[in-house]
Structure 1
Amino acid sequence: MRTRARAWVSKLVARRIQRRGIDLSQLSFIPAPTKVPLQRTGLDPLPRIAELRAAGPLSRLPLPFDFTVHLLTGFAETRTVLADRDSYSNDIRHLLGGLGHTAAEDVGGLGFTDPPLHTRLRKIVTPEFTMRRLARLEPLIEEVVARQLDALAAAGSPADLAREVSFPVPFQTICDLLGLDLLDRDAFARLGTQRFDATGGAAGAFGAVSEQRAFLFDAVARQRTEPGPGLIGQIIREEGDAISDVDLAGLADGVFTGGYETTAGMISLSTLVLLRDPAYAAAVRDGSRADVDRVVEELLRYLSVVQVAFPRFAKRDMQLFGTPLRAGDVVIASLSGANRDPVWAGADPDAFDPARVPANGHLAFGHGIHRCIGAELARMELRIVLPALLRRFPDLALAVPQQELGFRQLSFVYGVDELPVRF
């Protein structure tokens, strides 16, 4: 009965949105108001985010068509909405009519899936991301880090830290975890960046998604007959035909993409932050595990490289913090804005301060049932790579002024494509 009710609500929302004529797969531009949560000034959210937050936790973004989007910027309010699994849907497929029925159905994965399918799929992969299971990856990560630091040294000073360390460390880790042998690393680096890049609108991003998922569909198909040693093969052995190729490829896609692009951004930007003050670098290079943990958590809060959470679609007409919502309206949470909320973070939230210990964890990984399943893996990689980097190269420094770095201008995942360093 509950399943039929959910299906009815989803169809109702889809019909209302379709009547508004919205098809994200055909949108080749991003309306100016929606760019605000995707843009930054250096490492900081635009001042406009703080202005919106001060005016109220929920702001309507004025758009040129009949499609209502509200932006959340307050910490407590964002946490409340992300924890609400009953009032919102994450299923985006009703907005992708231009991809065709089959291709639109293939856009899934945990981030764009609702219960009960989301519950079943997440239950399949959750055991792999417990601390106990992840502990066995630690020697592998240490080996990958050591190899890439050797590559950085071999490249000679100055060198590109992003190319030699930030990207290959999480890329190789996630490939080993999934059981993937992807030789065309540069192609995946390009597609990973493009799928989060909003400069060409949603159309360009979904094109990159489709191209990247094709690799994973092929990997799943090959492992159906000969399951590999990684997570894909393990799921096939345990679930068999109970999980479709589409759902398994969606799971692999979510783990793969969430496991390397975001962590690659964090490694580069964290290094940038640590190099600004010798005391920060020393705390990571020479400090205890507790010191490193505190720095990593503050880096996650301060940088919030995943700039917005997955969009939520209101399932019914309702009131949200005094604002009326119609079924089908979109609520987008600015994670970078919420993590800089002074009500939660305390005084001077725009400053990097490893001594900061706010109540309730930050929202860098999201919250609720769609919280990033690879959060602990990302933490582990940062705890390993940052101390190792600073110990191996104690005189590490930027090779260019920060203002000359090519920060991404309009991306759901913030970062730099190159980070020149000298040593």
Structure 2
Amino acid sequence: MTSSGDENATVPADESPTAMRRLLPADLVERDGCPFDPPPGLRQRRGQGAVQPLTLHNGASTWMVTGLDEARAVLSDPRFSSDRVRHPDATHQQAAGQPAPPPGGRTDGMFIFMDPPEHTRLRRLLTGQFTVRRMRALESHIRDIAVEHIEAMRAAGTEADLVPAYALPIPSLVICEMLGVDYADRARFQRNTAIALDSTSGDDERARAGLELYGFIQELVAAKRAEPADDMLSGLIHDADPPLTDAQLVDMALVLLGAGHETTANMLGLGTFALLEHPDQLGALRADPALLDNAIEELLRYLSIIQMGVTRVATEDVKVGDVEIAAGATVIIATPEANRDPRHWNDPDRLDVLRPRTSHLAFGHGVHQCLGQQLARVEMRVGLGELLTRMPGLRLAVPAEQVPLRNEMLVFGVHSLPVTWA
């Protein structure tokens, strides 16, 4: 699920994060030099305040939050809204006069763009599906998937692209099974999701991808209504009281499918890349596998694959840190920089798998904290653990500077990771 951060970072069907990505200065979102460091614009702004003014390309004045404490304060304060219908952010200034939702409340299922109590009801329906106990029960199955794909790579030769051969299939298979999606349909879903999350996609291309995604899930909902099975989507259809509409079910399924493979796949790919490029850290992890859980939290903090785009809108005047945020202002959380706040971590730009575990913003914070964070942790623990154990000679097959980065995507990572083990 979202090894990512805030829920709204991985939604393929909504324009808000992608629109924000397009309006941000390039130096705040495009990484250069070291592929594991925050974008240069964030690094240059370090020390200029935990809450800084930021002007978007459309001329809108916003606030960028780079401090960990201040980001948590925004994400946990009910005076900052996630509701893009009632409180359009700076990317949707022209939508400010749109009609309000009907008195009975919103009828869509995009719970990631809702505030309580609407958000609370829909999220509660999903919470029971992602308990620590249930995620740990999945661990042996996830290990079977990982081992199967490692053996397939070995059988095919001594080189592979780790992204399609390993990093993407693990979370894709798991979330497809949980929701009851035929895994044979994964290519169709993943292709359209990639287009939707690519800030360079044309508007027409994105619209077509969105329609195909929506139609895909509509067909799935209809099939589960007719023939329920032992999966999450069937449970949402047949167990919710009051019942959910088809529109709500489609929206919720889109959120879960998008979040369930995109972010964890990129953490597996980029995390492996980071370890291969830090042989001292890889060596420490190989020497003491008990460090794996610690290493995963450090990789989540250090890599922060959710780039700029997590936003909130102030519904009244609010003071954050020592800055007054006016009602109606958009606040943007700079997750990669907040996760390297020098007030919380010594030498924050260094990857250190021995670093004591601390909380971070990789899964967000507050009521919208990632539902699937425990699933993501299990997938990463198993995925990285099996890879490092079963392929002791693993290394890059190309120079590091030739590994293509996902600078144009909402979720950072690598497009491919050529590796060898010969």
Q: TM-score range by the shorter chain?
A: 0.7 to 0.9
In structure 2, the residue matched to 1:87 is 79
Distance 1:339 1:373 in 2: 20
Amino acid at match of 1:403: E
- Assess if the C-alpha contact under 8 Å between 1:26 and 1:203 holds in 2: no
In structure 2, the residue matched to 1:39 is 30
Q: Percent identity?
A: 36
Does residue 408 of structure 2 align to residue 417 of structure 1?
Answer: no
Q: How many Å apart are 1:236 and its aligned residue?
A: 1.8
In structure 2, the residue matched to 1:356 is 355
Amino acid at match of 2:52: S
Q: How many Å apart are 1:47 and its aligned residue?
A: 2.9
In structure 2, the residue matched to 1:374 is 372
- Assess if the C-alpha contact under 8 Å between 1:198 and 1:204 holds in 2: no
Unaligned runs of 5+ in 2: 1-14, 100-105
Amino acid at match of 1:109: M
Distance 2:19 2:279 in 1: 45
After superposition, the Cα gap between the structure-2 partners of 1:28 and 1:187, relative to the gap in structure 1 and judged at 3 Å, is: farther
Amino acid at match of 1:79: R
After superposition, the Cα gap between the structure-2 partners of 1:248 and 1:344, relative to the gap in structure 1 and judged at 3 Å, is: same
Distance 1:154 1:191 in 2: 30
Query: TM-score scaled by structure 2?
Result: 0.85
Unaligned runs of 5+ in 1: 1-22
In structure 1, the residue matched to 2:295 is 295
Distance 1:276 1:66 in 2: 40
Distance 2:189 2:183 in 1: 9
Does residue 334 of structure 2 align to residue 334 of structure 1?
Answer: yes
Query: Per the alignment, in what secondary structure is the counterpart of residue 46 of structure 2?
Result: helix
In structure 1, the residue matched to 2:404 is 406
In structure 1, the residue matched to 2:11 is none
After superposition, the Cα gap between the structure-2 partners of 1:135 and 1:25, relative to the gap in structure 1 and judged at 3 Å, is: closer
After superposition, the Cα gap between the structure-2 partners of 1:32 and 1:306, relative to the gap in structure 1 and judged at 3 Å, is: closer
Distance 2:202 2:47 in 1: 29
- Assess if the C-alpha contact under 8 Å between 2:268 and 2:384 holds in 1: yes
After superposition, the Cα gap between the structure-2 partners of 1:375 and 1:405, relative to the gap in structure 1 and judged at 3 Å, is: same
Q: Could you list the per-position Cα deviations for residues 194-253 of structure 1 after superposition, in whole angstroms to 9, with x for gaps in the alignment? A: 222223488865664443233222211221121122100122221166212222222222
Stretch moving more, 370-379 or 146-155: 146-155
Q: How many Å apart are 1:169 and its aligned residue?
A: 0.6
Q: How many Å apart are 1:87 and its aligned residue?
A: 0.9
After superposition, the Cα gap between the structure-2 partners of 1:24 and 1:189, relative to the gap in structure 1 and judged at 3 Å, is: closer
Cα RMSD for the two superposed structures: 2.8
Query: Per the alignment, in what secondary structure is the counterpart of residue 184 of structure 2?
Result: coil
- Assess if the C-alpha contact under 8 Å between 1:285 and 1:387 holds in 2: no
- Assess if the C-alpha contact under 8 Å between 1:36 and 1:48 holds in 2: yes
In structure 2, the residue matched to 1:228 is 229
Distance 1:121 1:310 in 2: 20
Q: How many Å apart are 1:393 and its aligned residue?
A: 1.3
After superposition, the Cα gap between the structure-2 partners of 1:376 and 1:32, relative to the gap in structure 1 and judged at 3 Å, is: closer
Q: Could you list the per-position Cα deviations for residues 365-390 of structure 1 after superposition, in whole angstroms to 9, with x for gaps in the alignment? A: 11111111110101001111112112
Ranked by relative contact order (alpha carbons within 8 Å, sequence separation 6 or more), the top structure is 2
Amino acid at match of 2:31: R
Query: Per the alignment, in what secondary structure is the counterpart of residue 356 of structure 2?
Result: coil
Query: Per the alignment, in what secondary structure is the counterpart of residue 343 of structure 1?
Result: coil
In structure 2, the residue matched to 1:11 is none
Aligned ranges for residues 227-306 of structure 1 at < 5 Å? Answer: 227-239=228-240, 242-289=243-290, 291-306=291-306
